[in-house]
Structure 1
Amino acid sequence: MTAATPLSPIPVAPVGLTARARRFVEVDGVRVPGQGFGQHRERWIKYGVPTVEIDRAATFQDRWGGLALPPAPFYEGGPRILGADCPEGSAAEGWLFPAGSCRVSMAYGFMIGSDGAFGINAHRWTPLHASTDGWVESLALAAHAGRWATTVTKVKGKAVESLDLADFEPVPEVQGVTDTWWRGRDSLIALYRGEAVGMDAPQCLEAHVYGGLDKWALRGG
């Protein structure tokens, strides 16, 4: 039997995250030691992968590689461990590279787009957040909201489109593209549209409404 991979001490959060996300990474995250990313470079170049794309994946690996975070509230928990792999090119989407292995068998993978967006690749490439920072901020916000909300309501399918966001403002730190967060007077709403868009499956639309939040909880704490 192969021994389990040891987990490292508390990780240091990458620079640029909000205080909330830094706490989330450093308190709830762990770093899993892995093999050096550079050992694959020459082999990938032989496969025809441009060096600029390998460099982009290496930058991601340096910032996020080996970081394991608690499961996301949607997308079957998100990547199990963040980590780059061999970039893949297509005429339609440009160059993408994997962002980490899935927790379960799924119909799509988590990828990083040519512009750095974090998203899913199913029937089509669907960016969820403008960067991996945004994805991690969304995880941190979901954990924070779930901890302090007095009610959590899940809205699914067509009912999501009837949510009234007129008195809500977008939460900028999550860098929402297909998925967004909205802040109201005493509530936060997370809109998960990625599966619906990426898999042509409107029944997969889902929103989580966190109610009963005070001013401190709404702004991040």
Structure 2
Amino acid sequence: MAGTSMSSIPVAPSGLSRRAQRFVEVDGIRVPVQGIRRHRDAWIGLGIPAVEIDRAVAFQDRWGGLALPPASFYEGGPRILDADHPEGSETEGWSFPAGNGRVSMAYGFVIGPDGEFGIDANRWTPLHANTDGWVESLALAAHAGRWAKTVTKIRGKAVESLDLGGYEPVPEVQGLTDTWWRGEDSLIALYRGEAVGLDAPQCLEAHVYGGLDEWVLHGG
């Protein structure tokens, strides 16, 4: 492995909310990972476009080696954010792995052709517009779970009956298939990724965090 064998306290990448910055720096660790620049010539020789290699390198520079607490869904998410060689698809464009799962899974975590963070299941399913959004969602779940008076999990068809009237989307999570919604005293996380990606509507899930104060709802 490159660098020292010891973990380190990470410095949060720029552009995150204050809540996500604290989450990364307080709850995360940075572990050594192999650099991927050294593979550039070999990958180009395999026909991987230079621009796609540059995307993977940029991801590794920003996120590589960051280990965060488990997500409340997706079997905890990647154990460590860590890029690997890009792979191309005629229908879906180029993507590259975002890190290995914590357990054996039916899908992998992938960075899509436009930088989306998602899962590669029966079909490519983008969860958030970028990795920042994924990290913001982890931070929000940890923050809301810490301060909510009640946490209710709803699964399957019952999720479709949730009334989001009076709620507004939480923009920092940059939700695509997965979204967060802010109400008067509550937050709702909608996890649709497994239901869509695995063609498994029973996997649809929502987490409702109730009894939240204003400061928790708007940044904490």
Give the match for residue 53 of structure 2.
54
Q: Secondary structure at 1:139's aligned position in 2?
A: helix
Residue 162 of structure 1, CA deviation = 0.2
Superimposed CA distance per residue, residues 10-46 of structure 1 (whole angstroms, 9 cap, x where no aligned partner): 1000000000000000000000112222121122112
Output the CA distance in 2 between the equivalents of 1:20 and 1:205: 27
Give the match for residue 101 of structure 2.
102
Output the CA distance in 2 between the equivalents of 1:134 and 1:210: 19
Output the CA distance in 2 between the equivalents of 1:136 and 1:160: 24
Residue 6 of structure 1, CA deviation = 3.9
Output the CA distance in 1 between the equivalents of 2:207 and 2:116: 22
TM-score, normalised on structure 1?
Answer: 0.96
Amino acid at match of 1:25: V
Moved over 2 A (4+): 5-9
Superimposed CA distance per residue, residues 146-201 of structure 1 (whole angstroms, 9 cap, x where no aligned partner): 00001000000000000000110000000000000000011000000000011110
* Contact 2:8/2:31, CA 8 A, preserved across alignment: no
Using the TM superposition, name which of 177-186 and 211-220 deviates more.
Answer: 211-220
Give the match for residue 8 of structure 2.
9
Output the CA distance in 2 between the equivalents of 1:34 and 1:219: 35
- 1:127-146 aligned within 5 A: 127-146=126-145
Q: Secondary structure at 2:143's aligned position in 1?
A: helix
TM-score, normalised on structure 2?
Answer: 0.97
Output the CA distance in 2 between the equivalents of 1:7 and 1:82: 17
Give the match for residue 65 of structure 1.
64
Give the match for residue 35 of structure 2.
36
Output the CA distance in 2 between the equivalents of 1:157 and 1:208: 12
Are residue 162 (structure 1) and residue 161 (structure 2) matched?
yes
Output the CA distance in 2 between the equivalents of 1:193 and 1:120: 11
* Contact 2:33/2:82, CA 8 A, preserved across alignment: no
Amino acid at match of 1:178: T
| % same residue | 79
State the Cα RMSD in Å. Answer: 0.9
Residue 7 of structure 1, CA deviation = 3.7
Gaps of 5+ in 2: none
